[in-house]
């Protein structure tokens, strides 16, 4: 049986970071990471897993996206147009707004594309690693990522255009 503590210590931080990047909210991230560790805890007692890092990030991604979508109804994801970028505080605010816009846009993607995009860019996994974890082909990963990037680019460009119109 695999050493559970070792698994958590070695791969947990990246799963946490992945969930954090998707959610951007401390309490939600805490909940999601805990939820996502339940199944691996059971699995480590029953069978061998080839890539614990990939599995933990995959489960954290799924739960985090699930959580983001549920919160879309209660959280206004429209960003507040920043007044100016003249100092550091404004730069931070602009960065946060941009990050929130991306999180919101990712949540609008189909499940598969949202999940793969999050693993690739938030979980920082290689395409081959994603393919191995999800037991799909590398080509399938590449195609889904291409679709995700195209849709996100459009969504963010539309957002950017609307944002610009709100500027005084």
Interface with another protein (CB under 8 A)? 4-5, 8-9, 12-13, 16-17, 20-21, 24, 26-27, 29-31, 33-35, 37-39, 41-42, 45, 59, 62, 69-74, 95-96, 98-99, 101-103, 105, 121-122, 126-128, 145-146, 149-150, 152-153, 156-157, 160
Q: Which of 153, 144, 90 is nearest to 120 (CA)?
A: 144
Cβ atoms within 10 A of the Cβ of 61, count? 26
As measured in angstroms, the least distance from the Cβ of 113 to another protein is 13
Q: Scanning the structure block, which residue is given the tokens 């080509």?
A: 139
Provide, rounded to whole angstroms, the least separation between the CB of residue 75 and another protein: 10
User: Could you tell me the smallest distance in angstroms from the CB atom of residue 6 to another protein?
Assistant: 9
**By the 8 A CB rule, do 43 and 82 touch?**
no
Residue closer to another protein (CB basis): 1 or 87: 1
Q: Kindly tell me which of 83 and 124 has the beta carbon lying closer to another protein.
A: 124
**In the bound complex, what is the minimum distance in angstroms from residue 93's beta carbon to another protein?**
11
Calculate the CA 7 to chain-centre distance. 21
The packing angle between helices 138-166 and 88-107, to 10°, is 130
CB-nearer residue toward another protein: 12 or 54: 12
Secondary structure of residue 165 in the 3-state scheme? helix
Q: Which is nearer to another protein, 41 or 84 (CB)?
A: 41
Helix, strand counts (H, E) of the chain:
7, 0
């Amino acid at each position: 049986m695999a050493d559970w503590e070792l698994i958590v210590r070695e791969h947990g931080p990246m799963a946490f970071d992945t969930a954090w990047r998707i959610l951007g909210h401390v309490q939600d991230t805490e909940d999601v990471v805990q939820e996502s560790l339940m199944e691996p805890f059971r699995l480590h007692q029953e069978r061998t897993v080839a890539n614990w890092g990939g599995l933990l990030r995959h489960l954290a991604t799924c739960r985090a996206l699930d959580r983001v979508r549920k919160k879309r109804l209660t959280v206004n994801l429209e960003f507040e147009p920043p007044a100016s970028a003249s100092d550091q505080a404004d730069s931070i605010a602009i960065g946060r707004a941009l990050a929130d816009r991306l999180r919101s846009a990712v949540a609008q993607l189909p499940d598969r594309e949202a999940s793969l995009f999050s693993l690739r860019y938030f979980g920082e996994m290689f395409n081959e690693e994603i393919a191995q974890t999800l037991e799909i082909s590398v080509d399938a990963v590449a195609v889904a990522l291409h679709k995700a990037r195209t849709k996100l680019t459009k969504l963010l460009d539309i957002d950017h255009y609307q944002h610009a119109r709100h500027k005084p």
